[in-house]
């Protein structure tokens, strides 16, 4: 029985080159307040070594159980005799330490990395650093760059959240780093080079080794980036590109090839299975510490938020290389690095000046009073939920009114970051879930169930129109025959993509019906709500010429999904008897273009910030119900089949400014 400390007594760590511990289970992700809490807790791990390849069990003296295994992988080669030490980390967001061990925090993390300086480590990072965090709302992730430089990072791969503030901002920030960023398999169609000035590969000569490094990402999160139109990039299969680059790097004399990835576990496993030229995969995107060997290739994910890192030692023994991996927890027993403490204080002190940053000019008042936004449709609710549709691939959006915290009318005039954070003070994570029409109806019923009480569950919506009768019993207030999604009657059996807060998708605030709905875009794939709103204002500045967009990539102001569907429908109308209809639909589109209603011109019109009420939510009484039913008789019956011309008419109407 051997006793070791997770607070990383340096002498003990350096004597245990063959130990790795894999933590299973989730760890806290977001720290919504600027926490300056300091807690010193000693945790002892009792470790029983067993034979190679078998699982070991560790029992913490507190409550956590940790599973781990001895990982020794052998690579046959004729490489140098020296040991190569690699320190790896991924997915870091908050400079401040957490409340529970391992507390992490940037200052302790830097101290931890510096404790290995005598080993001359190669420091590698697997993406996600600029967002999301409370500080990043103000600073757009710039506060993280000094930390990456301070730990001596040698190479990194982009993560999805590094694109949250746009390609231009990412390129500007990257110029302040002292190491290359890799993106091997995403090509910018405007430059025919890797996106965001990324490098395809690099060779770093370190400790006598020529280390070839590539950076690979998965298509799933590229398609969900709000600040990038997928049509503007070319995605290359990571397996094909991985094999191609491995061959190229070996021809250039690489002794060892490492893939830095930002992908989920299944894709990392697939990469290991199908790219035999890789020696190690150092991965990100998942936040739990994990270690696997697939096809004799080590896959390592090194935790999150400066709380963990991996120490990888490559040793030569006879004709083989042995890869030893150990998990390092950044606990409170590490002293905080003094220089980093000052960096953190500097950025925290810079917040006040950032609060007065002007985002745009509002041409109308925004209604945010609880007495209004928790009982009826408001133009503020419409403005925010419309942006949710811009930044997702959803059909509709729903927010609980408790999200809006200002409880005031925001006057016409200059809208500042301070105003945005008064309205949305939290890091609200978004997701896209798949709901049936019946489930959506149940969600709307929950939203109006407490009316006229001013409860936060009352919904604000986009892409949805519905009425409710408060005189009816709870659960029967919404008239299902009058609910419309994207201008069409609700189909109880149809599946819709709904953008909402992760909080609601977990069944909170009475939205139990969302709890088991399939998640189509996770919080990790989506940007936060406040980031999407801020990017909306920035796109307006670009369109109006107040700000330059060097890369050509930015967040759209309209629902591009509807435009793409319209074009797709026209292509399907190639059957002879529909040619006339297709020509008619095409002519309608051309007329709209000629009347300056193209996507580009609609975006320009959107620059005039005047959100208004549109009848998305209304109270039902006998008179209104009769009026709505008369309107309905002139439209489509529920669940009626729609031919492509009729659907295109609906799509065109939804692209008009009345619904944007």
Strand partners, 120: none
User: Which residue in 119, 127, 128 sits closest to 86, CA to CA?
Assistant: 119
Is residue 327 helix, strand or coil? strand
Whether the pLDDT of residue 550 is over 80: the answer is yes
Q: Could you read off the pLDDT of 244-303 as tens digits, one per residue?
A: 999 999 999 999 999 999 999 999 999 999 999 999 999 999 999 999 999 999 999 999
pLDDT at 31: 33
Q: What is the structure's pLDDT at 626?
A: 82
Q: What is the pLDDT of residues 331-353, one digit of tens each?
A: 999 999 999 999 999 988 878 78
Nearest to 73 by CA among 319, 298, 300: 298
Residue with tokens 């231009």: 168
Q: How far apart are CA 529 and CA 435, in angstroms?
A: 21
What mean pLDDT do residues 226-246 have?
Answer: 95
> Which residues face 488 on adjacent strands?
485
pLDDT > 80? residue 9: no
Can you tell me the mean pLDDT for 380-386? 97
| pLDDT classification of 468: cutoffs 50, 70, 90 | very high
Q: At what angle do helices 529-543 and 379-390 cross, to 10 degrees?
A: 80
First to last CA, the chain: 66
Task: Give the whole-angstrom CA distance, residue 132 versus residue 427.
Answer: 7
In 3D space, the residue among 452, 404, 399 whose CA is nearest the CA of residue 425 turns out to be: 404
Q: What is the pLDDT of residues 32-55, one digit of tens each?
A: 333 333 233 232 222 222 223 322
Residue 185's pLDDT band, with cuts at 50, 70 and 90, is: very high
CATH number assigned to the domain covering 2-351? 3.60.21.10
pLDDT, residue 231, reads 87
Query: Do 302 and 88 meet the contact criterion of CB atoms below 8 Å apart?
Result: yes
Q: Is the pLDDT of residue 625 over 90?
A: no
Q: Hey, is 487 helix, strand or coil?
A: coil
- Measured distance CA(227)–CA(536) in Å, rounded: 9
Measure the CA–CA gap between 572 and 137, rounded to whole angstroms.
44
pLDDT of 578 reads 45
Token pair in block for residue 483: 């609910």
Q: Quick check: 294 and 273 in contact, CB under 8 A?
A: yes
SS (H, E, C) 394-455: CCEEEEEHHHCCCCCEECCEEEEHHHHHHHCCCCCEEEEEEEEHHHHHHHHHHHHCCCCCCC
- Extract the tokens encoding 5: 């400390």
SS3 335: coil
Give the number of C-alpha atoms closer than 13 A to the C-alpha of residue 626, restricted to the C-beta side: 3
What is the arithmetic mean of pLDDT over 86-107?
Answer: 96
Residues 581-607 have a mean pLDDT of 53
Judged against a pLDDT cut of 50, whether residue 574 lies above it is answered with no
Are 2 and 263 in contact by the 8 Å Cβ rule? The answer is no
* Average pLDDT of the segment spanning 627-649: 57
Question: Taking residues 123-131, what's their average pLDDT?
Answer: 98
pLDDT at 571 over 90: no
Annotated domain spans of the chain: 2-351, 358-555+609-617, 558-606+621-660
Which of residues 62 and 119 earns the better pLDDT score?
119
CB contact at 8 A, 35 and 49? no
Answer whether residue 238 shows pLDDT above 50. yes
Question: 358-555+609-617, which class in CATH?
Answer: alpha beta
Tens-digit pLDDT profile for residues 194-225? 999 999 999 999 999 999 999 999 998 887 78
Please state, rounded to an integer, the average pLDDT across all residues of the chain: 82
Non-local CB neighbours of 133 within 8 Å, separated by 6+ positions = 30, 31, 93, 94, 95, 427
**What are the pLDDT digits (tens) for 398-423?**
999 999 999 999 999 999 999 999 99
């Amino acid at each position: 029985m051997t006793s070791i400390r997770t607070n990383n007594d340096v002498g003990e760590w350096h004597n245990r080159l063959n130990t790795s511990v894999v933590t299973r289970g989730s760890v806290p992700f977001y720290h919504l307040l600027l926490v300056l809490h300091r807690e010193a807790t000693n945790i002892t791990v009792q470790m029983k070594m067993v034979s190679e390849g078998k699982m070991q069990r560790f029992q913490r003296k507190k409550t956590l159980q940790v599973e781990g295994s001895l990982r020794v992988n052998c690579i046959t080669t004729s490489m140098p005799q020296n040991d190569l030490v690699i320190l790896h980390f991924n997915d870091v967001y908050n400079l401040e330490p957490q409340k529970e061990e391992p507390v992490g925090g940037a200052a302790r993390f830097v101290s931890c990395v510096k404790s290995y300086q005598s080993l001359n480590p190669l420091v590698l990072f697997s993406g996600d650093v600029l967002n999301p965090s409370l500080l990043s709302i103000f600073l757009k992730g710039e506060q993280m760059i000094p930390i990456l430089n301070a730990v001596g990072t040698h190479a990194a791969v982009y993560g999805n959240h590094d694109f949250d503030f746009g390609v231009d901002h990412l390129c500007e920030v990257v110029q302040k780093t002292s190491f290359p960023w890799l993106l091997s398999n995403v090509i910018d169609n405007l430059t025919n080079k890797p996106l965001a000035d990324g490098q395809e590969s690099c060779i770093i000569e370190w400790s006598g080794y020529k280390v070839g490094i590539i950076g690979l990402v998965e298509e799933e999160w590229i398609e969900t980036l709000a600040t990038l139109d997928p049509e503007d990039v070319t995605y290359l299969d990571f397996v094909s590109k991985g094999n191609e680059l491995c061959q190229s790097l070996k021809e250039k004399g690489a002794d060892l090839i490492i893939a830095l990835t930002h992908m989920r576990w299944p894709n990392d496993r697939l990469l290991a299975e199908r790219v035999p030229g890789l020696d190690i995969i150092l991965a990100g995107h998942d936040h739990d510490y994990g270690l696997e060997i697939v096809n004799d290739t080590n896959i390592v994910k090194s935790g999150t938020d400066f709380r963990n890192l991996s120490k990888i030692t490559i040793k030569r023994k006879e004709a083989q290389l042995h890869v030893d991996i150990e998990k390092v927890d950044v606990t409170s027993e590490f002293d905080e690095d003094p220089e980093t403490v000052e960096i953190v204080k500097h950025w925290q002190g810079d917040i006040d000046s950032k609060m007065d940053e002007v985002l745009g000019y509002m041409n109308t008042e925004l209604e945010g009073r609880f007495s209004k936004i928790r009982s009826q449709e408001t133009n503020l609710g419409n403005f925010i939920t419309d942006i949710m549709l811009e930044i997702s691939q959803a059909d509709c959006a729903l927010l609980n009114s408790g999200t809006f915290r200002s409880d005031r009318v925001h006057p016409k005039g200059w809208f500042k970051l301070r105003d945005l954070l008064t309205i949305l003070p939290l890091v609200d994570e978004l997701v896209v879930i798949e709901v049936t029409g019946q489930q959506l109806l149940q969600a709307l019923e929950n939203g109006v169930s407490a009316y006229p009480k001013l409860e936060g569950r009352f919904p604000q919506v986009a892409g949805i129109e519905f009425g409710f009768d408060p005189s009816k019993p709870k659960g029967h207030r919404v008239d299902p025959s009058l609910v419309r999604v994207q201008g069409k009657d609700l189909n109880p059996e149809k599946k819709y993509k709904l953008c909402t807060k992760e909080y609601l998708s977990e069944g909170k605030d009475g939205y139990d019906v969302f709890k088991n709905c399939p998640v189509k875009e996770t919080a990790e794939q989506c940007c936060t709500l406040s980031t999407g709103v801020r990017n909306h204002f920035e796109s307006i500045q670009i369109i109006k010429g107040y700000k330059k967009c060097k890369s050509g990539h930015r967040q759209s102001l309209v629902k591009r999904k509807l435009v793409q569907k319209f074009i797709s429908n026209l292509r399907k109308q190639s059957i002879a008897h529909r040619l006339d209809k297709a020509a008619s639909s095409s002519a309608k589109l051309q007329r709209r273009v000629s009347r300056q209603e193209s996507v580009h011109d609609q975006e320009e019109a959107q620059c005039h910030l005047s959100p208004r009420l549109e009848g998305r939510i209304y109270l039902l009484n006998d008179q209104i119900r009769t009026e709505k039913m008369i309107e309905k008789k002139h439209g489509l019956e529920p669940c009626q089949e729609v031919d492509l011309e009729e659907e295109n008419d609906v799509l065109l109407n939804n692209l008009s400014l009345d619904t944007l």
